Amino acid sequence: NHAIVHARLFLDGKDVGVQAFLVQLRSLEDHQPLPGIEVGDIGPKVGFNGVDNGYCAFHKVRVPRENMMMRYAKVLPDGTFVKPKSDKLVYLTMVQVRAYMIKTLGVQMGAASTICTRFSAARIQGRTPDNKGEFQVLDYQNQQHKLFPLIAISYAAHFAGTSLVEMHDSALDVIKRGGSSFGAKLAELHAVSSGLKAWLAERVSDGIETCRRLCGGHGFTQSSNLAHIFAEIVGANTYEGTFDVLVQQHARYLLKTLASLPANEESTKFLNQSKQYSDTKLRCKAQTSEDFGNLDLLEAFQTRAARIILTLASQMKATKSVGNACMVLMTRASTAHAELILLEAFIRGVKSLPSGPEKHSMTHLCSLFGAWLITNSLGDFRQDDYLSSGQVDLVRERIVRLLPVIRKNCVLLTDAWDFSDFELNSTIGRYDGDIYRALVKRAADEPLNKTQVPEGYEKYLKPLIQSDL
């Protein structure tokens, strides 16, 4: 019956920006739309249909002043507009939504990778060299090479999302106490959440589809639930900001920070050493594949991000571009910084764990994540020979060496998400591994299998079969 409507407010002909208003849409007596208001549903979507997206139009509808949401910006009875303490306050709700979205993306990637891991452990295919048994699909190197980085993404998103939620709650606490030192923090939160949301929405959507393919034909069944998970999350690429818009917002924040050094915010402090990183003689110090296996990979990612941001700043200045001519480079800058933030969050999360086998396993997974990210953007890391061709071989070697190590605990790493069979709703992602009995039962429960003589047989098939030719 009511909605929070965001609309541009004009006072005495002056535009004072978009404000929020509580507006009654329907009658409380018969639920009919009020005069001047059109409302409706936009129709079925690809997925995410649990949320009923609609449209609304207003034709000369009056809204009382008291219906304006005036916690921060206000309109006084005499028509005077009172600005909020900071224009960054408009980010508050949006940043909160994005922070939780990043955690949700991690959860959905965790769900898909759990289903895929359990299927890969239960499915056996191909004789072993001694001819005494068959391989679990999970034992194949290619399966591991595609699946394990996706498990890593789920944890990286979890740690990064948790960190963003904590930063948001801290800023909100300052605001509630009447403080004013939240502007820079909210700007950072807005930029970082924009970059992470853009990166994760794309990678998680692609990752869920990869999980479906890794499950072969069974992954193509609706009962695997992978198609449903994909349909539910793929919309994240567009709602709450599309990729191309978000990476520009993220990149502009990085450029602004670079132009006003020193940087005080945690996510951009590395830019204070931008002069050091810009030295084309700077080289990666790794000498063995194990050097790419520790958690000291951050310098490589900081160097890469700083160099791309510096190049972007130089190109923007040279072309006097407002953005469009440099959009590809802005995307690279956003991607580089987002991957640095994710790796930092993953490393912090691992280091915060108590000593034990869990921390040992997570260290290997984090190491794989960093090495995998490098191989996905070799052009950036090879630029100016920061990484040599020999070091590229070491990175690839490190990944291959980590696969059998992670294989030992990959089922436990996905079980740690603690999804119930009810939540996963997947015949091939059952905790007990009894996937084939579940597949047969789900097929038997299909309406088409409830009767051996289908509807329409008497009318259509029988006359054809029994006719005289």
Q: Could you read off the pLDDT of 322-331 as tens digits, one per residue?
A: 668 899 999 9
The predicted structure's pLDDT at residue 401: 95
Q: 2-82: which CATH topology? A: Butyryl-CoA Dehydrogenase, subunit A; domain 2 (2.40.110)
On whether the 90-384+391-415 domain is CATH 1.10.1760.20, my answer is: no
CATH 1.20.140.10 positions along the chain are 90-384+391-415
Q: What is the 3-state secondary structure (H, E, C) of the chain?
A: CEEEEEEEEEECCEEEEEEEEEEECECCCCCCECCCEEEEECCCCCCCCCCCCEEEEECCCCCCHHHECCCCCEECCCCCEECCCCHHHHHHHHHHHHHHHHHHHHHHHHHHHHHHHHHHHHCEEEECCCCCCEEEHHHCHHHHHHHHHHHHHHHHHHHHHHHHHHHHHHHHHHHHCCCCCCHHHHHHHHHHHHHHHHHHHHHHHHHHHHHHHHCHHHHCCHHHCHHHHHHHHHHHHCCCCCHHHHHHHHHHHHHHHHHCCCCCCHHHHHHHHHHHHCCCCCCCCCCCHHHHCCCCCHHHHHHHHHHHHHHHHHHHHHHCCCCHHHHHHHHHHHHHHHHHHHHHHHHHHHHCCCCCHHHHHHHHHHHHHHHHHHHHCHHHHHHHHCCCHHHHHHHHHHHHHHHHHHHCCHHHHHHCCCCCHHHHCCCCCCCCCCHHHHHHHHHHCCHHHCCCCCCCHHHHHHHHHCCCC
CATH 2.40.110.10 positions along the chain are 2-82
Over the chain (469 residues), what is each successive 10-residue block's mean pLDDT? 94 92 96 96 87 92 94 91 78 84 96 98 86 89 98 97 90 74 81 95 97 96 95 91 93 93 87 84 84 77 94 88 84 97 95 94 96 95 90 93 96 96 96 95 90 88 85
Q: Catalytic one among 202, 209, 240, 299?
A: 240
The predicted structure's pLDDT at residue 295: 58
* Its pTM surpasses 0.85: yes
The predicted structure's pLDDT at residue 180: 65
Known catalytic membership, residue 240: yes
The predicted structure's pLDDT at residue 294: 67
